[in-house]
Amino acid sequence: MNGRRIGVFVCHCGGNISDYVDVAKVREAVRDEPDVVVAETTIFACADATQQDMVQAIRDQRLDGLVVASCSPKLHTFTFRGVAKRAGMNPYLYTQVNIREQDSWAHTDDPAGATEKAIQLVRAGIARTRLSLPLDPIEVETTPKTMVIGAGITGLRAAIGLADIGLGVYLIEREPQLGGWVARFGAMYPHQRKGWELVDQLAAQVRRRPLITVFTSAELTAKSGSFGNYRTEVRINREVPETIQLDVGSIVVSTGFETYEPAVGEYGYGIDGVLTLPEFKALLDSSKGELSYNGRKVSTVAYIYCVGSRQPDGNAYCSRYCCAATVHASLEVARLSAGVQQYHLYRDIRTYGKYELMYTESRERGSVYMKFPEEAPPAVARGADGRLTVTTRDLLTEGAELTIPADLVVLVTGMVPRKNETLMGVLKLPVGSDGFFNEIHPKLRPVETVVDGVLIAGTCQGPKNSSESVASGLAAVTQSAAILKKGVAELDPLVATVDAGACEWCGRCEETCPYAAVSRAHSDGRDVAQIDPAVCKGCGGCAPLCPEGAIDLRGYTDAQIRAMIDRLVEVSTA
Amino acid sequence: MTDMPRTATPRVLVFSTNSISDPGIDLAGSRHMHYSPGVVVISLPCASGIQPGWIVHALQHGFDGVFIAADGDECAYLSDCSSRSAAIVQAAQKALSERGIAASRVKMAAICSVCAEPFTRQVTEFIESLAQVVV
């Protein structure tokens, strides 16, 4: 016993943990651990009410150690450090134990094994906390500049937002021109503003802001440094390519999406007159007067929804923008050529929120909607008369089989992740099983990634329409401002320290540190190593090289790691 | 030989790194990829900070294997992190051999922040390989 008073909170995570880990058993197994005076389970440790309960427990029980067993430390370390601070406890006396990503979710096939592992992990967290020390964070100056990668509508709007709050912006665009997808679009829902006009307007605003520097035909090729102070390399693909170095405090990735490209033969794709939604949109936007295709008047259009989306063996997700985009396109057709017959063959219509009004208007203006069964999608063929036909079953008319002659068939295709191997290699951002970049938490930290100071926005994160993309871009602006406007970032004081009494000064630690954080000092008439906490990066690389074992890394001391190992290996008797 | 008996479920201690390999291991869980619950992780800032003595301690006290999920060339701290980590593994293996513990109970592989499948595969293969190790 070393006289500590530790509180342990084991989280259900609303079932994410407790569906596989017996959290009550974990609590019972750790409640009599040395120095533990509070052991509780909680449905959501991160909930405001629970945080308040923790604050109260810290105060009432005079806790000087806190262990929260819940999700990855990437998610809530700052949340629970905040709890400790609000309760008057030093935040570095708190330990996060990951029993979700590295336990319950990885062992959904073995609840008993997951429970046993949770007990070991929590006991190790308690052992570490028993040896924790109160520490103060180290402040470093940050670079008040943000790199925005991708100058589509999201990146353009984010760049303007960043400049308007006083941050320098490097706007990096791989293509020779700005604007991305939206620059190619004519009228867009719901306001009928043309996409290229919006982009022109945003580009003009960018030009008016001296804080923004634009690089087109440019790609990020390297990144080093850390949160608040990244050094990057950007290759500019001119006639003679050039690589430049740019120092930034944060990075916003807004690289956009690709559209699903059907295979030849998929719903008749490859037959003349069978177009994807972007191809149809381009045709529509370039139409003057009545709708025509290859010089022929278009009298009938058939739309087939969910092509390439919601497929069990392909893209399982819904791109959600495409229903509204198609309904909007059909309204554009109706405005252009009032007599065009339009048939919408759908699995489900998802014109959510205000876009439902467009769906209603579309029906009022004559569009006919037919719901086909998932297991029997429509078939597209070219008939003997040269006309396209679409054969479908309509569940709304008792499954009747219908054959629709059409001049154009539009395959309503969704979004797929954009391929960018260079950027993926440089940023090392995690991607989900769908191939889009992953945020830390879709609700709590929706634009942050596990790489500190690197934010994601727009459709590189997943399907969104343009207004949702811009909203997430502005969220990334706010988050960048939160990081950089203070001018300093708080870094963990988890730096190396020297036990002067044990040090025999051999100089190996000084030689090995690339940051020159170690120097020779005199103590009690002896030469000893001295580490500058403001310069030390906290890698711990010097510690294993010390022949005397005189160097420890705060938060990861030799005693703490050995204590953790001892508790991790024990099999529970609870 | 070890001080504690080995258990039926092989026990593997993983040393991961906070910014690189630990997110990769998290991602494996987020995708509900399965591996043995005998695998437990201690995350550190950098693989070059692992003490060879910790590896020896873990194996002497009941772990069947130690897997170092290193940063490879991705380390944000040290450009020579890979060679430093390799030297740590070699030092640990030498110390283990002197104690009659097979050096093959230690494995190091680079695991990146999105290496969910490589981590799951490598740690599972490592556990399978441990079945062949007799000391």
CATH number for the domain spanning A332: value is: 3.50.50.60
Structural domain includes residue A573: no
Mutation test of the interface with chain B: which of A556, A560, A566, choosing the one with the most B Cβ atoms within 10 A?
A556
Query: Are residues A276 and A404 located together in one domain of the fold?
Result: yes
With beta carbons less than 8 A apart as the criterion, state whether A277 and A324 touch.
no
Chain B positions in Cβ-Cβ contact with residue A224 (cut-off 8 Å)? 76
Q: pLDDT by residue (tens digit) across A255-268?
A: 999 999 999 999 99
pLDDT at residue A433, as a whole number = 75
Which residues of chain B from 51 to 110 reach within 8 Å of chain A, CB to CB?
51-54, 57-58, 61-63, 74-79, 81, 84, 88, 91
Tell me which H or E stretch contains A381: strand A379-382
Is the domain of A329 the same as that of A469?
Answer: no
For residue A171, is it within any domain? yes
- Check residue B48 and give its pLDDT: 95
Chain A residues near residue B43 by CB distance under 8 angstroms? 73
**One domain for residues A273 and A405:** yes
B positions 3-62 inside 8 Å of A (CB):
4, 7, 9, 11, 13, 18-20, 22-38, 40-46, 48-54, 57-58, 61-62
- Out of A113, A450, A570, the one facing B23 most closely (by C-beta) is A450
Chain A residues touching B4 at Cβ < 8 A: 569
Chain A: closest CA distance from residue B67 (Å): 13
Of A549, A515, A509, the C-alpha closest to A529 is A509
**Cβ pair B34:A433 closer than 8 A:** no
- The answer to whether position A571 is within a domain reads no
pLDDT at A1: 41
Answer yes or no: is A395 within a domain: yes
Query: In the A/B pair of chains, how many CB contacts fall below 8 A?
Result: 148
Q: Where are the domains of chain B?
A: 12-130
Cα of A139 to nearest chain B Cα, Å: 18
CATH dotted code for B12-130 = 3.40.50
Same domain, A80 and A40: yes
- pLDDT at residue B76 is higher than 80: no
State the best of A72, A100, A102 to mutate against chain B, taking most chain B CBs within 10 Å.
Answer: A102
Same domain for A132 and A152: no
A120 close contact with B: CB closer than 8 A: yes
**CATH at residue A98:** 3.40.50
Q: Which residues, 6+ apart, have CB-to-CB distance to A281 below 8 Å?
A: A185, A186, A325, A329
Q: pLDDT at residue B70 above 80? A: yes
Average per-residue pLDDT for chain B: 91
Which of B14, B33, B51, B82 is the best mutation test for A, with the most CBs of A within 10 A? Answer: B51
Chain B contact for A226, CB < 8 A?
yes
**Below-70 pLDDT ranges, chain A:** 1-2, 572-574
What ipTM was predicted for this assembly?
Answer: 0.95
CB-CB neighbors (< 8 A) of B79 in chain A? 514
Mutate to test the interface with A, among B6, B13, B21, B40 (most CBs of A within 10 A): B40
- CB-CB under 8 Å, B61 with A569: yes
Of B7, B30, B36, Cβ closest to residue A105 = B30
Both A276 and A374 in one domain: the answer is yes
Indicate whether B24 pLDDT > 90.
yes
Residue B7: is its pLDDT beyond 60? no
pLDDT score at B135: 79
User: Does one domain contain both A278 and A154?
Assistant: no
Do A113 and A167 share a domain, yes or no? no
Q: Residue B33 and residue B14: Cα distance in Å, rounded?
A: 17
Is residue A549 situated within a structural domain? yes
Q: Rounded to a whole number, what is the distance in Å from the CA of B118 to chain A's nearest CA?
A: 14
The yes-or-no verdict on residue B5 having pLDDT over 50 is no
Whether residue B113 contacts residue B19, with contact meaning beta carbons closer than 8 Å, is answered with yes
Domain, as residue range, for A401? 263-411
Whether A116 sits inside 8 A of B42 (CB atoms) is no
In A189-218, the residues whose Cβ lies within 8 Å of chain B are none
- The pLDDT assigned to B4 comes to 47
pLDDT of residue A439: 86
Q: Which of A99, A138, A428 to mutate to test the interface with B (most CBs of B within 10 A)?
A: A428
Tokens in use for A217? 């035909």
Instruction: Confirm or reject contact between A124 and chain B (CB < 8 A).
Output: yes
Is the same domain home to A309 and A399?
A: yes
Give the dihedral of Cα atoms A139, A125, A430, A427; nearest 10 deg.
30
Q: Residue A273, SS3?
A: coil
**For residues A414 and A309, is the Cβ–Cβ distance under 8 A?**
yes
pLDDT at residue number B19? 85
Please count the structural domains in chain A: 4
**Burial zone of A150 (CB within 10 Å; 0-12 exposed, 13-18 middle, 19+ buried):** buried
Q: Are residues A235 and A325 in the same domain?
A: no
Here the CATH number for the domain that contains residue A545 is: 3.30.70.20
Do the Cβ atoms of A180 and A150 come closer than 8 Å? yes
Q: Counting Cβ atoms within 10 Å, is residue A127 exposed (0-12), middle (13-18) or buried (19+)?
A: buried
